[in-house]
Amino acid sequence: MQLRNARIAVLAENQYQELELWYPVLRYREAGAHVSVVGPKAGQVYGSKLGYPVVPDVGIDDVDPDDVDVVVVPGGFSPESIRRNEKMLDLVRGVHDRGGIVAAICHAGWVLASAGLAKGRRVTCVSVIQDDVKHAGATYVNEPVVRDGNLITSRLPNDLPDFCRVITDAIGELPERTEAERPAPLSSGTSPEYDAPAKVKTGSAGPGSANYVMFASPGKPLP
């Protein structure tokens, strides 16, 4: 598949790692691919670990795995929320099962474990969660990037050049869709520009609940 024809979804949730989301978004947009940021809800602000906001182009309810060639799962602590969102897991599993590319970096190994994709696979991740992926049945490899079929994993932001290089190679091996098979691009307008940091807060999922949810709101505009 030519890179310019690839439909790439980058997942967003609160507490994402800044470079691991924006690097692939901007790199693949520059290369001409159709890149969309997908979150639980379109138009809602989600904050990074350092308060850098992102507003998803598309909500998860409006994404069909058949329309996505590559799904990229950034790290940080956002995978903790993504793995608890069954619709997000369905997207990751759906893209994988139809032969598309699933690329996960850093703590995104949690998502692979929860989606049932780690078992029997060679993967890497940030070292602090290596026990989690091992317990999920994966073989942990401490390398900058590991590819096992259509599953691509990396460890840290410094590995992003290798991570995206291998993703690009894998895209080139995907079969080209015919004009009739090619879906319309998902919405793609997310910008890294902002004038106010996002404040990420944690609250109970309900009265007396031991579960919690994270939400973000815009902070004071920068001077």
Q: What pLDDT score was predicted for residue 223?
A: 64
Question: In this predicted model, what pLDDT tens digit does every residue of 124-149 receive, in sequence order?
Answer: 999 999 999 999 999 999 999 999 99
How many angstroms separate the CA atoms of 87 and 61, rounded? Answer: 7
What are the structure tokens assigned to 25, written together? 């978004």
Q: What's residue 60's pLDDT?
A: 97
Comparing 211 with 155, which gets the higher pLDDT? 155
Give all strands (DSSP E) within 30-120, no chain letters.
Answer: 34-39, 46-47, 53-54, 58-59, 70-73, 101-105
DSSP reduced 3-state for 103:
strand
CB-CB contact of 78 with 98 (8 Å) = no
**Of 23, 17, 47, the residue nearest 194 (C-alpha):** 47
Closest by CA to 47, choosing from 72, 17, 26, 71, is 17
Catalytically active residues, by annotation: 107
pLDDT category at 219 given cuts 50, 70, 90 is: low
Mean pLDDT of 158-173: 98
Q: What tens digit of pLDDT does each residue of 92-115 get?
A: 999 999 999 999 999 999 999 999
pLDDT tens profile 182-203? 888 787 778 776 777 887 877 7
Select from 129, 31, 61, 2 the least CA-distant residue to 112.
Answer: 129
pLDDT at 183 (0 to 100)? 83
CATH number, domain 3-178+187-218, options 3.60.21.10, 3.30.390.50, 3.40.50.880, 3.30.390.30? 3.40.50.880
2-23 pLDDT tens trace: 999 999 999 999 999 999 999 9
Residue 191's pLDDT is: 79
Percent of the chain with pLDDT over 90: 77
For residue 167, the model assigns a pLDDT of 98
- pLDDT score, position 182: 81
Give the pLDDT score at 114: 98
Rounded-to-integer distance, Cα 56 and Cα 26, Å: 14
Q: Is 78 helix (H, G, I), strand (E, B) or coil?
A: helix
Average pLDDT over residues 33-54: 93
Q: Which of 220, 170, 179, 217 is nearest to 8 (CA)?
A: 170
Res 115: pLDDT: 98
Question: What pLDDT shows up at residue 109?
Answer: 98
Task: Dump pLDDT digits (tens) for 203-216.
Answer: 766 776 767 777 78
pLDDT per residue as tens digits for the range 168-179? 999 999 999 888
| Predicted pLDDT at 75 | 97
Q: What is the pLDDT, as a whole number, of residue 201?
A: 73
Residue 211: predicted pLDDT: 74
